[in-house]
Amino acid sequence: MKSQDSEILPERLSPQWLTENMPKFEKQVKASNLNLDCSQLQHLDSLALGCISSLHKTAQSHGHQLKLQGLKRDLQPELAKVVSEKENKTIVNPSLFEVAGEGLVKLWSELRSVLFLLSESIYWSTWGLRKRKTILKGETVKQMILLGSNALPIVALLSFLVGLTLAIQSGLQLSRFGASIYLASGIGISMVTEIGPLMTAIILAGRSGASITAEISTMVVQEELGALHTMAINPLHFLVLPRFWAMSITLPLLTICAAVAGIVAGWAVGVLMFDLSTTIFFKTLIEAVTVDLIYKSIFKSLIFAWIISLIAISKGLQVRGGADAVGRATTSCVVSCIFIIILADAGFSFLFYT
């Protein structure tokens, strides 16, 4: 193989030859200059181009030279083109500060987009309610059914199961101290103030938020928003308002349903497992769950509805690219919604109960 410190390339590079020799060449070029005798090389196919280009790059990064000897004149232009294109495409890794800065700019851009949508949605839902809007009649009801009503079975079922588990666990502990009666107040308060709003919001973020982002981002990718614009239809009216209104109405209603389902599960556990009477259970429950708590819960769920709808719409509108961008936006929407909802919930707990 070796002749006068030159590695001889065969007539045509086969995958097997490359597998056997490439590691050796790479090792050599990292350590010193490498001479390749190309006089026998007849075909500069993809494998040969890839091999030479890769060795050239490794040599450059280690401050060494890759010398090609005896390369046929008619093969030279093609090789020069590949190597120069590769050099032009050299990517400089950004520094930590650049990455952090880019992240901050992106975050600010997303925040600005959500705040813009929030201000516009609130304006068109209040002062601008009577102004002419390019919106389809019945669209809000359609969205309420799609985003909200269709989620009722899954929300009710999951809340019932969580209520059931919570009641069994807390009932077992309370019964050890002869305080099973407090099961009613415990389940009631936790379902109304925390689990009801949070569970419903998280389910809707995964179900309806993802659906909104996927739908809008697909429309963006397929130029449907441009088409709306050229028909003098404001996408904010046509797409944002029906979804914003639908979520604002259905999420608080679903939250109430979730709380009721959880309480029903708690009642069933209390009566069947801990011998509580129905009358005492509901008497204790009504004493514990005040109207004030219900208002706070509904307020929380309204804010969660805004978070889900505005983040989902914003993520959808910001999509650039193709089908993969739609997938990324949908994932990002669900993750962002859940994160912000839990953050907001912590904030509400601090605000309301400390």
Partner 1 sequence: MNPLVEVKNLKAGYGNKVILKDVSMLVQPKEIRVVLGGSGCGKSTLLKNIIGLEIPQEGEINILGQRVRWGEEQLASEFMQKIGVLFQNSALLTSLTVGENVGLPIRIHHPQLPQSVIEEIVLSKLGRVGLAHAFDLMPNELSGGMRKRAGLARAIATDPQLLFCDEPSAGLDPVSSQALDELLMELRDSLSISIVIVTHELDSIRTLCDRLTFLSGGYVVFDGTLQEAEAQGPQEVRNFLSRKAEEDQSKASNVQFNLED
Question: Measured from the CB atom, is 143 or 180 closer to partner 1?
Answer: 143
202 CB-near residues (< 8 Å, 6+ apart)? 338, 341
Q: Select the residue interacting with partner 1 from 2, 73, 130, 137 (CB under 8 A).
A: 137
Task: Kindly state the tokens that stand for 27.
Answer: 């090792």
Q: Nearest-CA neighbor of 331 among 309, 313, 315, 308?
A: 315
Nearest-approach distance from CB 67 to partner 1, in angstroms = 38
Question: Measured from the CB atom, is 31 or 122 closer to partner 1?
Answer: 122
Q: Select the residue interacting with partner 1 from 35, 134, 150, 175 (CB under 8 A).
A: 134
Nearest-approach distance from CB 140 to partner 1, in angstroms = 14
Give the CA radius of gyration of the chain: 32
Nearest-approach distance from CB 223 to partner 1, in angstroms = 4
Question: Measured from the CB atom, is 176 or 320 closer to partner 1?
Answer: 320
Question: Measured from the CB atom, is 229 or 283 closer to partner 1?
Answer: 229
Question: Measured from the CB atom, is 136 or 157 closer to partner 1?
Answer: 136
262 contacts 166 by C-beta, under 8 angstroms: yes
Task: Kindly state the tokens that stand for 207.
Answer: 């179900």
Binding footprint of partner 1, residue count (CB under 8 A): 20
Question: Measured from the CB atom, is 31 or 227 closer to partner 1?
Answer: 227
Nearest-approach distance from CB 153 to partner 1, in angstroms = 23
Burial of 152 (0-12, 13-18, 19+ CB in 10 A): middle
Restricted to residues 196-255, the positions that interact with partner 1 (CB under 8 A) are 215, 218-219, 222-224, 226-234, 238
Nearest-approach distance from CB 213 to partner 1, in angstroms = 15
The DSSP H or E segment spanning 7 is strand 6-8
Nearest-approach distance from CB 126 to partner 1, in angstroms = 18
Concatenating the DSSP letter of every residue in 155-178 gives HHHHHHHHHHHHHHHHHHHHHHTT
Cα distances (Å, whole numbers) of residue 303 to 195, 223, 296, 306, 311: 15, 31, 11, 5, 12
Task: State yes or no: residue 139 binds partner 1 (CB under 8 A).
Answer: no
263 contacts 163 by C-beta, under 8 angstroms: yes
Instruction: Write out the residues near partner 1 by the rule CB under 8 A.
Output: 134-137, 215, 218-219, 222-224, 226-234, 238
